[in-house]
């Protein structure tokens, strides 16, 4: 196809959208400044303050509100298109990925936007902010039309303003329709996040040097990042788990050489941490790291076990999003049975303490996995993804754009 032929197809789009639509908006923009100046003069004449000072105040006041109004409109249109393009890229990306994580699927990605307040109230902060700005635009439009008495605003945005009303109505309907499951999802995600980090044994990671936080292996180690969990795969092995368990058990026996199960249940270290929690969390940490390595999630583990993430409760990442979509479960028994000679030595041949610790770990791990399955079912089968709402708005905008073209291309004389 020649350039001339291609231009014949493109020219109507340029004429309608560039010259006509944006030409009208440019004209409206300057017209509004003139109208606002007139209104400023009218209001200044009614005031007891010096006319010039009052006029300058009103002009500045109206101009700032109007510019803010225009900026909000541009941002809402841009952000809606951005969310739709992101949703499209995510969905297309799934077709080409060899490995899919939960964060690659929009139904699960929405978890990142949830703000947990209480068990009975949570909200999507992106959706809340989005609808709030739309309401703000409508409020300013109403102010100009009804308070300042400039009806040109309603006439100029006779397609956009009804769309914004529709965005609010659909958004409110979406929120209340999903309210129960939204709260449940937020509660589950928040509880799961706490359970994860409560059962990660930082002492085990540091004492056994599972993560290289500070020093490159050599000058060619270009993937090294300070404070990230570097070299996890090469540093991780079962021997280090046995070494840590042995150190903790020896510490216990140094305190009480005749330790019994009943004493062990309440025995604490010098920092007030229960020894049973240290041991069971070491089991969980081992199983968790093995899951990340076995499922080729080392880069995600690098972030999860970074010092900044482990030591910053308010900004911790939600680990569920990095899980492998096709393999959500953590194998809990492999390598942790008491039948192994190394395990018996690590627990100083005290099978009662081992059984108690393993059962505690098993219960915690089972609870975490139950929450993962519950969250999966909510996102996959019960909730409507918030990104479906944005896609719906994007489709409505597309219909309006097409309608505008048809209306002004085929019926240019009709108002």
| Residue 1 forms part of a structural domain | no
Looking at the 3D structure of the chain, how many domains does it have?
A: 2
Backbone dihedral region for residue 59 (phi beyond 0: left; psi -120 to 50: alpha; all else: beta) = alpha
**Rounded to an integer, what distance in angstroms lies between the CA atom of residue 2 and that of residue 369?**
60
Residues 211 and 151 occupy one common structural domain: no
> What number of other Cβ atoms are within 10 A of residue 270's Cβ?
7
**Which structural domain, as residue segments, surrounds residue 172?**
17-178+387-410
Residue 9 falls within a domain, yes or no?
Answer: no
Residues near 285 by beta carbon (within 8 Å), at least 6 away in sequence: 199, 200, 201, 204, 205
**Do both 23 and 49 map to the same domain?**
yes
Q: What is the pLDDT of residue 50?
A: 61
> Is residue 7 situated within a structural domain?
no
Give residue-wise pLDDT tens across range 280-304.
Answer: 999 999 999 999 999 999 999 999 9
Rounded CA-CA distance 246/342 in Å is: 9
Provide φ and ψ at 100, rounded to 5°. -115, 125
Dig out the tokens for 215 from the structure.
Answer: 């020093």
Residue 316 has pLDDT above 70, yes or no: yes
- Identify whether 2 is part of a domain: no
Largest CA-CA distance found in the chain, in angstroms, rounded: 98
Token couple for 358: 């393993």
Residue 333: helix, strand or coil by DSSP?
coil
**pLDDT at 244 (0 to 100):** 96
Q: What is the 8-class DSSP label of residue 411?
A: -
d(CA 146, CA 148): 6
Angle among Cα 282, 284, 285 to the nearest 5 degrees reads 65
Q: What percent of the chain has pLDDT over 90?
A: 62
Q: Are residues 173 and 86 in the same domain?
A: yes
Residues 347 and 294 occupy one common structural domain: yes
Answer yes or no: do 165 and 222 share one domain.
no
Kindly report, residue by residue over 95-113, the tens digit of the pLDDT: 888 899 999 999 999 999 9
What is this structure's pTM?
0.85
């Amino acid at each position: 196809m020649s350039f001339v032929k291609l231009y014949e197809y493109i020219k109507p789009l340029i004429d309608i959208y560039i010259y006509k639509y944006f030409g009208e908006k440019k004209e409206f923009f300057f017209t509004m400044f003139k109208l606002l100046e007139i209104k400023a003069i009218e209001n200044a004449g009614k005031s007891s303050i010096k006319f010039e000072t009052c006029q300058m105040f009103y002009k500045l006041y109206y101009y700032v509100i109007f510019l803010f109004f225009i900026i909000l409109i541009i941002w809402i249109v841009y952000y809606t298109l951005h969310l739709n393009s992101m949703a499209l890229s995510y969905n297309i990306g799934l077709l080409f990925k060899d490995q899919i994580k939960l964060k690659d699927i929009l139904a699960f990605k929405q978890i990142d936007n949830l703000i947990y307040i209480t068990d009975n109230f949570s909200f999507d902060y992106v959706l809340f902010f989005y609808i709030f700005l739309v309401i703000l635009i409508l409020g300013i439009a109403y102010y100009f039309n009804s308070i300042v008495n400039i009806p040109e605003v309603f006439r100029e945005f006779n397609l956009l303003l009804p769309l914004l009303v529709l965005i609010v109505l659909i958004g409110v309907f979406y929120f209340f329709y999903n309210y129960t499951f939204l709260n449940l999802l937020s509660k589950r995600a928040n509880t799961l996040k706490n359970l994860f980090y409560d059962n990660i044994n930082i002492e085990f990671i540091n004492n056994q040097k599972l993560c290289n936080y500070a020093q490159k292996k050599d000058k060619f180690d270009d993937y090294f990042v300070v404070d990230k969990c570097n070299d996890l795969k090469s540093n991780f092995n079962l021997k280090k788990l046995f070494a840590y368990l042995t150190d903790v058990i020896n510490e216990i026996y140094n305190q009480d050489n005749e330790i019994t199960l009943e004493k062990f249940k309440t025995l604490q270290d010098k920092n007030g941490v229960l020894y049973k929690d240290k041991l069971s969390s070491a089991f969980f940490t081992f199983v968790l790291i093995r899951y990340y390595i076995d499922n080729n999630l080392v880069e995600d583990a690098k972030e999860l076990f970074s010092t900044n993430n482990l030591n910053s409760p308010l900004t911790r990442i939600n680990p569920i999003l990095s899980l492998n979509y096709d393999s959500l479960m953590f194998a809990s028994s492999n390598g942790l049975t008491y039948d192994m000679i190394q395990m018996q030595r690590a627990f100083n041949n005290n099978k009662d303490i081992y059984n108690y610790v393993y059962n505690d770990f098993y219960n915690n791990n089972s609870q975490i996995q139950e929450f993962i399955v519950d969250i999966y079912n909510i996102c996959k089968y019960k909730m409507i993804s918030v990104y479906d709402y944005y896609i719906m708005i994007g489709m409505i905008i597309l219909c309006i754009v097409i309608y505008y073209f048809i209306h002004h291309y085929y019926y240019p004389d009709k108002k």
